[in-house]
Structure 1
Amino acid sequence: MPNPFDRPRAAFVLEVTGVKDLLPLFKSNLFTNAFTEKVISGSDKAEIRLPEEEALLVSLDEPSASDFASLSDDEIGKFASWMGGSYVTDMSESLKGELTFPLGNGRKMSLHMSKEADRQYIGSLISLVHGVRRAKDMHEDFSQGTRRPAELIKGCFDGIKVLKEEQGTEGVAEQGLLVLLATLSRSYDLLQEAYKGQIVGVILLGDAASSQSDSLLDVTFTSRPSVRWLAETEGSANATKAAEVALVRLTLAWVTGLILLISVLLGVYLLLNMPLTRDTLLYSNVKLD
């Protein structure tokens, strides 16, 4: 029987823009045990607040890797081989070759690096893989230490949206989605192996932009008061309470003293102004003959 308290301490969250149809997702083995939920949201974002000392945010968005100018034919060739595809370089000019991915059932997707949309799409895929491997390395470093924070791996993929805007056809975008799912399947296998299965994957679909301000998730960190700060706060509260008690006691002492002083003065005044009669002399223990 599974332990309900043995929960994963890591989550892989990827926003995929430009995708609304969920049907192609269920054709992948990656989503065999997955479930879907349709959320209709307006301008509101999902706010996630994490304790700063107990959580770690790993961003998959690496601008340097998504910049196609920073890539090389060798790096693209290694990525194609890792995905089971091929990359034919252009001998006359670098970064102008043709990249081919198998899609199954005898189909394939060809991307020409001379096209701007294809370059951005490949740059986004390689950036995603780099981010996953970076998260894997960071987890291995933290797993050897005494501090074991919860981890949130978060990123956004705009490659499908770029293909739709540039190509204008759903067929190319669907092929790009299948290649993305194959990339996610291999990348998620790396995370499953590194985290020993203690990780949850979440894919958000929508038309949101990739900028941080338009992201569907707004992740912020909250600092938790330290033990020393709590001790100082408690000590300050105790000092304030002691000062209040001392003030009350001092006030009562002054009020009591004033009442006694007024009583003495009244007694002396009445005694000096008391008329000398037989009754008053008797009350004053004066013996009368």
Structure 2
Amino acid sequence: MEMRIRGALLLLSISSSLFLIAKAEFGGSVFFVDSSNHQYLRHRSPDDASEYEPVSPSEVGAAVSVLLGLEPPVSLSETGSSKLNEVLMPNPFDRPRAAFVLEVTGVKDLLPLFKSNLFTNAFTEKVISGSDKAEIRLPEEEALLVSLDEPSASDFASLSDDEIGKFASWMGGSYVTDMSESLKGELTFPLGNGRKMSLHMSKEADRQYIGSLISLVHGVRRAKDMHEDFSQGTRRPAELIKGCFDGIKVLKEEHGTEGFAEQGLLLLLATLSRSYDLLQEAYKGQIVGVILLGDAASSQSDSLLDVTFTSRPSVRWLAESEASANATKAAEVALVRLTLAWVTGLILLISVLLGVRFVIWMSRTLFSSYAAEYLSMPKATFFFFFFFLRRSVQHSSL
């Protein structure tokens, strides 16, 4: 019986270990891009990626929060804190307070990224797949969120040949239109080393891929304009630019070849490089890029990013509350003083009225007492007093 129990416990422990190993499988990678003129991240070589432990999505969210100048979540473990120290520079007073976070679905391999050499000051980390997400909590009135997933810009039916031609020219490519019908032309982009990528707008997948790239560029330019507007204020908020790119997943589903999807990834990286340069110029280097690569997300709920706003007292709110409290206190003091003045005035008025009444009453009482004494005098005394008074008057007249 005891041997059976031990065997069951051993089987249970082996099953648990296998479950944990399956739980800790790599679900993708995260790519950190440092500033062009300022070091916010610890620089490392791509060959050193195997020397570091993989990170979880929640730890990626904590790293982004710290880069924004916010506090990491209280649920962050000591192991997670040590991983953040391996990624971030140990200077809590020198943070960019701006982050460009993009989730690219359908991609796990970063090998084309390092072959392209588009980002020199960057490194990668493996991400453990799991049920948690990269949670980022932004305080209201202290943070600005710019979404790159604008519905109007990603509406592929609204694309025009002119817009596609401008994007191709901006990326150093070309667009040959079809004179007989719109959105039937051919796009060509140079990928370096003599390689080119051709896309046909007559194909739905190619049109969706280009539409996603154009939407991404529009979102970056919109974030740049919003930053220029908010930079005029006295207090700079934390700025998070986030989005999700599904164009690589669309190419894989349509063409089914890794080679074509790799070309699409290279074109995406070239677009990101130029867009990131725009942000670096607008933010004067005070921004860091974070690119999440993983399995394709079927919906917004499956996304690795979970950004929400939390309400907490801001500096402005505290100042307004303090001013309101001071005004209330001053009004209370004024009311007390006014009440005391009225009460004192009423007491003085009542005192004066009572004093006047007592004076009048005392005068009448004194007169009545004198009159009573005069009337109560004997008649002989009265005549004697009258006679004496008369003789005194006659004597004085002589």
Normalization by structure 1: what TM-score? 0.77
Residues in 2 aligned to 1:185 and 1:116: alpha-carbon distance in whole angstroms: 26
CA contact (8 A) 2:141 2:314 kept: no
Q: CA deviation at 1:30?
A: 3.1
- 1:66-109 Cα distance to aligned partner (Å, 9 max, x none): 22211110010000000000000000000110000001111100
C-alpha displacement of 1:22 = 1.1
CA contact (8 A) 2:148 2:220 kept: yes
Q: Deviations over 1:210-247 (max 9, x none)?
A: 63211101011111136898799999999999999999
Contact 1:157 1:210 in 2 (8 A): no
Name the CA distance, whole Å, in 2 between partners of 1:241 and 1:196: 45
Offset, 1:257: 38
Aligned to 1:271: 376
| Contact persistence 2:171–2:271 (CA under 8 A) | yes
Q: Deviations over 1:149-192 (max 9, x none)?
A: 01000000000000001110011100000000100000000000
What runs of 5+ residues in structure 1 fail to find an aligned partner? none
Deviations 1:111-132 (A, max 9, x none): 0000011010000000000000
**Which of the two has greater helix per residue?**
2
Q: CA deviation at 1:62?
A: 1.3
Q: Does the CA contact (< 8 Å) of 2:246 and 2:296 recur in 1?
A: no
Secondary structure at the aligned position of 1:57 is classed as strand
Matched residue SS, 2:376? helix
Give the alignment's Cα RMSD to 1 decimal.
Answer: 10.0
Tell me, in whole angstroms, the C-alpha distance in 1 between the residues paired with 2:175 and 2:125: 37
Who wins on radius of gyration, i.e. which is larger? 2
Distance 1:117 1:235, change over 3 A: closer
CA 1:30 to 1:4, structure 2 compared with 1: closer, same or farther past 3 Å? farther
Conservation of the 8 A alpha-carbon contact between 1:61 and 1:155? yes
Q: CA offset at residue 270 of structure 1?
A: 64
| Structure 1 pair 249–82 and aligned structure 2 pair: CA distance change class (3 A) | closer
Matches within 5 A, 1:19-168: 19-168=107-256
- Identical columns (%): 95
Q: Check whether the contact 1:53–1:224 (CA below 8 A) recurs between aligned residues.
A: no
2:313 to 216, 225, 230: 225
The answer to which structure, 1 or 2, has the higher relative contact order (CA under 8 A, 6+ apart) is: 1
- SS at 1:2 equivalent: coil
Structure 1 residues 181, 229: CA separation in 2 closer, same or farther (over 3 Å shift)? closer
- Specify whether residues 265 and 187 from structure 1 end up closer, same or farther in structure 2 by C-alpha distance, changes over 3 A only: closer
Task: Confirm or deny: 8 A CA contact 1:11 1:151 kept in the other structure.
Answer: yes
Contact 2:142 2:314 in 1 (8 A): no
| C-alpha distance in structure 1 between counterparts of 2:330 and 2:169, whole Å | 74
Is the 2:150–2:215 contact (alpha carbons within 8 Å) kept by the matching residues of 1? yes
Alpha-carbon shift at residue 28 of structure 1 (Å) = 2.8
Give TM-score, length-normalised by structure 2: 0.56
- Structure-2 change in CA distance of 1:24 and 1:248 (3 Å): same
Structure 2 stretches lacking a partner, 5+ long: 1-88, 356-373, 378-387
